[in-house]
Amino acid sequence: MFLERIPAGIYAVNCYVLGDKATNEAIVVDPGGDVDRIIKLLEDNNLKLRYIILTHAHVDHIGGVQELRDRTGIPVYMHKADLYMLMDGRANQSVALGGPVVEAEADKLVKFVEDGDILELGELELFIIHTPGHTEGGISIQVGDFIFTGDTLFAGSIGRSDLEGGNEEKLMDSLKNKLFVLNEDLKVLPGHGPATTIGIEKATNPYVG
C-alpha cells in the first residue's frame, strides 16, 4: 500500500493519496488545493488515479476538486447530502472566509456513495461509513488498518457542529456508534492534525463522554 499526506491548499488540509501497489491504482482524499503537487506525486509514483473522494464539502477540503477532476477526468465521490455545499460558495464557507469562492459543478463527474458502500481499488476495499454531524453528508473511509475521518474525529478533538450542515447530536452518535465501535487498533487519518488511533481517542478524547 502506498500512502502519503499532502498539506493542501491555503488551509493546509490533510489531503491523502492512497495507492494499491499491485495495480498502481490510487485515490485522492480531500484535495483542498495544490493540484500540481498532487498530480506530480501520482506521476512520480506511477499511480493511476481511480477515485477522488470527499469526506465532506467544506471549502478547505474541496479547494482543488474542480481543477483536479478537470485535469484528470476522474469522478468525485461524495455523499449526496453535501452536494449543495459543493455547488454553493456561501454554504461551503468560501464566501465567508474571504478567499477564492469555491463552487464545483454537479455533472456526470460527481458520483454518490452511501453508508455501507464498498469501492474497490485494486486489491484494496474502501468501506464507506456515513458519519454525519460535522456536515450532514460527512463520511469516513476505512481501508485495511486505516480510516480517513475527515473533520469528524481528530487527535484529541472532534469536528465542529456549529458550521453549515452541523448537528451536535448526530456528531456524537457518529463518534460513539459508527467510529468507536471499530477496531481500536485502526489508525485514524484526520482532516487536520496528526494521526491517532480509535483506541486512543475512545479512551482519552475529552470531547466524547
pLDDT tens across 123-156, in order?
999 999 999 999 999 999 999 999 999 999 999 9
Mapped onto helix, strand or coil, the DSSP state of residue 164 is coil
User: pLDDT by residue (tens digit) across 47-101?
Assistant: 999 999 999 999 999 999 999 999 999 999 999 999 999 999 999 988 887 777 8
Torsion of CA 25, 53, 169, 101, to 10 degrees: 160
Domain contains 209: no
Model confidence pTM above 0.85: yes
Grid coordinates standing for 31? 484535495
Q: Is residue 102 assigned to a domain?
A: yes
139 in a domain, yes or no?
yes
Cα–Cα distance measured from residue 46 to residue 98, given in angstroms and rounded to the nearest whole number:
37
CB 167 within 8 A of CB 153: no
How many domains does one find in the chain?
A: 1
Tally of CB atoms within 10 A around 177? 10
Expressed as residue numbers, the domain containing 137 is 2-204
**Cα–Cα distance measured from residue 156 to residue 90, given in angstroms and rounded to the nearest whole number:** 29
CATH number of the CATH domain containing 189: 3.60.15.10
**Whose CA is closest to 176, among 164, 168, 165, 166?**
168
Q: Is residue 47 part of a domain?
A: yes
